[in-house]
Structure 1
Amino acid sequence: MNFQFLNRYLLIILVITSIGCGNQRKKDAADFFLKANHAFQQKNYTEALRLYDEAINKNPDFADAYMNKGICLMKMSQPADAYEILTEAIRIDPTLTQANLVRAEVALNLGRTAEADADLKLIEKDYKDSSRYFLIRGDLFQARNESALSVSDYDRAITLDSTNTEALVNRGALYYNQANYALAQHDFRRALTIRPSQIEALNNLGLIAIHQHKHDEALRLFDQILYLNPANALALNNKGYTLLQLGRLDEAVKLIDRSLDIMPENGYALRNMGIYHMKSGDVEKALAEYNKAIEIAEPVEELYGLTGQAYFKKGDSSNACKIWKQGSVLKDALAISELKLHCK
């Protein structure tokens, strides 16, 4: 399975700086800026990036162009470059607090929580009534495993804007991780009433359906995602996992394999490929996939428990107990159970 917080990018209003008509280069920069914004809104990010660069070339002090270029780079999955460009925007215009808000989110994408915290504290007073501010700060607390503070900020974000689907999805994700499926479902369903095509909410409801052994409902939800985006790696993998639970191995492995083609470093898909090989009777191949998932060093549900089971099945109780001990430290429920059952 693959659980999802909202994998969002930045939907900040694109702003325009007042430019004096007497300066031709600044006027040209403004023209390029407006064209870039139009391309951005049309989701033509490559062209938008080129036009922002043209605007900056005409006016190197054009802070808004730097900021929007940073947003564009995030859309293009280039967060490190985005961070640098946003830093330049702030250097040019320290009063452009919107750039700090964007940079805080970029920093979170990069795992740089200290930098995100610094930006958010800097603009806290200016954004005391901003739903987006509390959403991003809630994400920061979540990254620090401070769940109570995170939920509090998501609550505040939703109070300020009841249509904030991002906050609903992320709060629901926290409830899911706490195994509070009723509250999680409520948030995901609320998000879908606002945006019926909200992929993260559909995905997470599908995972709850799996936990509730409602596999037909799970398949329906994952199929909804794949109708919207046939190349959604997480939905392909999660549908494959559902089919594994139903014993439909041939169908399952095709979907998991497609998921890995799109997202090779997906620990859940590697784990699921391991489950497929275990169910097919090939313990060595299963172990190879499980160990690839472990090498990624990201939390994957039951991964250590399943890996230990594979070692145990091939008669290697020493490595089985070793991996279960590691999983117990990481709070892998299956590993904890197996360790108690088989190891002294």
Structure 2
Amino acid sequence: MLFKFNILIQLLFLVFILLNCTSQSKKDAADFFLKGNQALSQKNYAEALRLYDEAIAKNADFSDAYLNKGITLLKLGRMKDAYEILTEAIAIDPTLVQANLVRSEAALDLGRLNDAKQDLAQIEKQYKDSTRFHLVKGNLLDAQGNSALAVPEYDLAIQLSKTNVEAYVNRGAVYYRMGSYAPAKLDFETAAALDPAQPQALNNLGLIATKQKDWPKAIAYFDQVLSLNPAEPYSLNNKGYALLETGKAEEARALIEKSLEKLPENGYALRNLGIYYQQKGDPAEALNAFNKAIEIAEPVELLYGLAGQAYWAQKKAAEACRIWRQGVVLKDSLATVEAARNCR
């Protein structure tokens, strides 16, 4: 990410100053820090973490080392640890606004939306021309349910950097959820052109092809993701759905179950497993999968309509109508059709 390289450039400059004017202990800390930066730039995160710890052991007030340690922890997916380390960096040097920006990302990943908002508000003036700042602010607004307000932030991020891949992907995701598939597709295609190995862009292009029922194209996109990461759970499941729609049920089931092994709380994968059992004429097993998806309480297209069909196939009209009526409230299109047809 561009943000990471900007930080490394700035902190390297700071270290050159330290080398000229500090004690031997701080010089040693700076040396470990430089080596940590090199390891971080090479994506050797475990080594970077070790070297930053060495730098901090030599100089406990080395706020920049705490900052880059926080970035490394984010790369390792250790969001809570990253948040705590970045908080230490800010306590040591309250003017280190880079730490507030990175901490806002950690807070966002942890679901601490108010904390993320406070960090961004504190540094907004300094970062008004930062593509990374506007990307993170867009992500926060989207997480708060303000998707329409997130789009202008992504627009600003892209205006400031035409190569901000994440901004294209995230703006495209907002457009996709709004049903604006043409601009969503354009954003995903732009992201994939900038980074041909960008999994979210490729997966989402597959979803658009799925919407268009262009199954060969959809499968080709999902296969591109899986060629890079054979265990990627979303593309495994999405390819499974495409295979269900093209008469390859057993191959589909294997992929969907593999997806659930990696991500058990995926409502779409549970729905798709239910579709498999429906196709096999087993409404009881289908209903079991659909109900597990419902328990997750996340929006899943057609889920209530399909669950009602499973009850209906078992001659349980009252239960079918109950679940379809719930789906009508949730704007499930299939549930709306089934309720109108079968329930009085």
Letter in 2 for 1:56: I
Deviations 1:287-310 (A, max 9, x none): 222222222222222222222221
In the TM superposition, what are the counterparts of 1:1-344 in structure 2 within 5 Å?
11=4, 13-14=7-8, 15-16=11-12, 17-18=14-15, 19=18, 21-344=21-344
SS at 2:4's partner residue?
coil
Following superposition, the deviation at residue 10 of structure 1 comes to 6.9
Q: Name the structure, 1 or 2, with higher relative contact order (CA <8 Å, separation 6+).
A: 1
Deviations 1:105-160 (A, max 9, x none): 11111111111111111111101111111111111111122122111111111111
Evaluate the alpha carbon distance shift between residue 37 and residue 252 of structure 1 in structure 2; reply closer, same or farther with a 3 A threshold.
Answer: same
Distance 2:2 2:106 in 1: 9
> TM-score scaled to structure 2, two decimals?
0.92
Give RMSD over aligned pairs: 1.9
Distance 2:3 2:269 in 1: 27
State which drifts further: 34-43 or 331-340.
Answer: 331-340
Contact 2:206 2:217 in 1 (8 A): yes
Distance 2:150 2:186 in 1: 18
Evaluate the alpha carbon distance shift between residue 324 and residue 11 of structure 1 in structure 2; reply closer, same or farther with a 3 A threshold.
Answer: farther
SS at 2:37's partner residue?
helix
Runs of 4+ in 1 over 6 A off after TM superposition: none
Structure (1/2) with the larger helix percentage: 2
State which drifts further: 93-102 or 319-328.
Answer: 319-328
Count of residues in correspondence between the two structures: 337
Contact 1:10 1:102 in 2 (8 A): no
Distance 1:325 1:339 in 2: 6
Contact 1:33 1:65 in 2 (8 A): yes
1:5 corresponds to:
none
Contact 2:327 2:336 in 1 (8 A): yes
Contact 1:324 1:339 in 2 (8 A): yes
SS at 2:270's partner residue?
helix
1:4 corresponds to:
none
Contact 1:210 1:242 in 2 (8 A): yes
Following superposition, the deviation at residue 340 of structure 1 comes to 3.0
Evaluate the alpha carbon distance shift between residue 234 and residue 9 of structure 1 in structure 2; reply closer, same or farther with a 3 A threshold.
Answer: farther
- Aligned sequence identity (%): 58
Following superposition, the deviation at residue 202 of structure 1 comes to 0.8
Distance 1:291 1:10 in 2: 42
Following superposition, the deviation at residue 331 of structure 1 comes to 2.9
State which drifts further: 244-253 or 275-284.
Answer: 275-284
